[in-house]
Amino acid sequence: MDIVVAVKQVPDTSEVVDVVEIDGSGKDIERGTLVSRINEWDEYALEEALQWKQKLGGTVTAVTVGPGEWDDTLRRALAMGADRAIRVDEDATVIDCSAAARTLAALIGRLPHDLVMFGAQSEDFGSAQLGPMVAEMLGIPHAALVVRLQVEEGEAHVERELEGGARDLYTLRLPALLTIQTGINRPRYVSFSSVRKAREKELSVMSLDELGLPPQALTPAVELARLELAPAGKGAVLISGAAEEAAARLATILREAGVI
Amino acid sequence: MAEILVVAEHRDGKPADVSLEMLSTGRRLADQAGCGLLAVVVTSDVSAFAPRLARWADSVLAVKTGKPEHSLAEPYQKALASVIRERKPNLVLLGHSSFAMDLAPALAVDVGAPLATDCTNIAMENGAITVTRSIYNGKVNALYSFAPCETVILTGRPGVFPVEEGRGKGIVEEIDLPVHEEAEYKRFEGCSEPEASEVDITKADVLVAVGRGVKEKGNLQLAEDLARALGGVLACSRPVVDYGWLPSGHQVGLSGKTVRPRLYLALGISGAFQHMVGLRGSKMIVAINKDEKAPIFTDADYGIVGDVLEIVPVLTKHILEPRR
């Protein structure tokens, strides 16, 4: 069972310390102060791939299209247990989904792949497009938002998440591509020693040219015009003060509003 | 031929809410641009859907593929690709649903059209389409345009585009488009409904909802104590279920439950739209979060910027023993 997992690196913009500002170009955010890490969905996809490798044998290859800094995320994938990693050296922040999909399809098409896994979406842009696009380009069946997987005898049995907690069940003939939803497993803890061992694993870098793609393959069809900080909405009435004081005022407000 | 095409999604005999939102949006854009609106529905029971869709659309195309309609994206993809190739609409609209996340990217590759997903605003001026997408945890809006092309495909974020009841009476047309799939390529095996839960959060008057910001499972006790003091029930956002801290029956949002309590008290929840869609009917929303830029403070009525773990026990105390 040869499994290819596509991963990407994202800036962490979820926490209070991560102040998001637009940079001078108006088309990107200031990345200087932000911590980068593996996209959360991709971590679940990697874990799922590694668990199936443990059960069925074979290989797990982590792939990405991105700049040199993204080797950090590939190293993490190797530390989690991937056998090797390949990065196509292009700045993924300036290409659109279809260009990234074209690049990844060209790469994955050259690798042995019984199963291809993508995170269902990315934390930064959240387009949820790449996986099914790559499947269509490779001409293999796909299922998006997979929350349960069983692999046996050349087939993948999957449960796809729908709205309201319902699920659809499918059987796909391998090779197939799945996009993985969070919660499908518990991604493993990465120990210091596995990080050290991962330094000896193979991490290769490829160019578009080596994949037989012309530079025009990256011309975006969806063009980013500009970024703007999200405007504040009507907004909550903020209760200030230390914990004791703020909590007391909130209790009074709840009582006066008659909600308790 | 200038035309806007809306893909109407349906399940259990009803059109999806987000499809009605897209039909309303399509109608508005078509009226502005002076072009026609075509709704496409893949169904075996034309009489059930088409008349309703025809209130918005100038024409409804009911496609009969001979396959169970809601079960596989592939028959939809084949039917839609063939309609798009023939009619060359300027714009194709779908809701950003689980169904569309499976279908739209493959369809875009199939017909060679650019795709922008999860749009929060869609504008059309002199035939040029621009969209807004919410990125980086809702902190940034990105505006996109498209390279010149025949057809643009967009999916719209659920709950963002208003529904205006359609008043037209379009024509309904049925076509047979049998789909011959390669055998055994992908089979639909059935559906499963959500597991029954011990507590029914949709019936509770007060919900104390926890998110990632409570840090670890052990801290749930603080929220539980507060819920008990308020006579309420514990709810949560998705990560809390993903981490195995609470069963899925407690989850509020797109892939969980829709609730409308008197009080929704959100602890350490950032307010991603997938969560907020599920609680819009709440009478009062109160948020406690240490990130003052968290989107939850946009929708909440009251907020405290601070550490949940520090504030919650004090709040519980003040609920139990009012100051005199």
* pLDDT for res B69: 56
Residue A188 lies in a domain: yes
- Option in B140, B242, B291 nearest A227 (CB): B140
Which three-class secondary structure state does DSSP give residue B118?
strand
The mean pLDDT value of chain B amounts to 91
Does A60 fall in a domain? Answer: yes
Give the C-alpha distances (Å, rounded to integers) separating A44 from A51, A104, A120, A128, B251.
11, 19, 10, 15, 20
pLDDT at B186: 87
Partner residue opposite A182 with nearest CB, options B133, B135, B242? B242
Predicted local distance difference test score (pLDDT) of residue B313: 97
pLDDT at residue B154, as a whole number: 98
Q: Is A116 on the interface with B (CB under 8 A)?
A: no
Q: How far is CA A182 from CA B50, B107, B141, in A?
A: 36, 24, 24
Instruction: Judge whether A238 lies within some domain.
Output: no
Examine residue A248 and state whether it is found in any structural domain, yes or no. Answer: no
pLDDT value at position B172? Answer: 93
Of A15, A143, A166, which is closest to B191 when you measure between CB atoms? A166
Average pLDDT of the segment spanning B225-231: 96
pLDDT at B285 over 90: yes
CATH number assigned to the domain comprising residue A100: 3.40.50.620
pLDDT band at B68 (very low <50, low <70, confident <90, very high): low
Mean pLDDT for B37-56 is 87
- Contact (CB<8Å) B102/A144: yes
Task: Please answer whether residues B128 and B41 qualify as being in contact, where contact means their C-beta atoms are separated by less than 8 angstroms.
Answer: no
- Any chain B CB within 8 A of the CB of A219? yes
Looking at per-residue confidence, does B71 or B215 come out higher?
Answer: B215
* Domain ranges (residues) in chain B: 3-176, 201-320
Q: Is the pLDDT of residue A253 over 60?
A: yes
CATH superfamily of B3-176: HUPs (3.40.50.620)
Residue A236 included in any domain: no
Does B196 have pLDDT greater than 90? no
Please state, in angstroms and rounded to a whole number, the distance separating the CA atoms of residues B311 and A246: 8
pLDDT at B98: 95
pLDDT, one tens digit per residue, over A17-44 is 557 889 999 999 988 888 899 999 999 9
Domain count, chain A: 1
**Among all residues of chain A, which has the CA nearest to that of B193?**
A166
Q: Give the pLDDT of residue A193.
A: 94
For the whole model, what pTM was predicted? Answer: 0.94
Q: What is the mean pLDDT of residues A37-64?
A: 98
ipTM of the complex: 0.95
Structural domain including A25 reads: 2-218
Q: What's domain B201-320's architecture?
A: 3-Layer(aba) Sandwich (3.40)
The answer to whether B115 contacts A129, with C-beta atoms less than 8 Å apart, is yes
Q: Would residue A229 count as lying in a domain? A: no
**Residues 6 or more apart whose Cβ sits within 8 Å of residue B2:** B33, B34, B35, B36, B90, B127
* Fold match flag (B3-176 vs B201-320): yes
pLDDT category at A90 given cuts 50, 70, 90 is very high
Chain A closest CA to B171's CA: distance in Å? 31
- For residue A256, tell me if it sits in a domain: no
DSSP string for B18-69: HHHHHHHHHHHHHHHHT-EEEEEEE-S-HHHHHHHHTTT-SEEEEEE-SS-T
> What is chain A's mean pLDDT, rounded?
94
pLDDT at B75 over 90: no
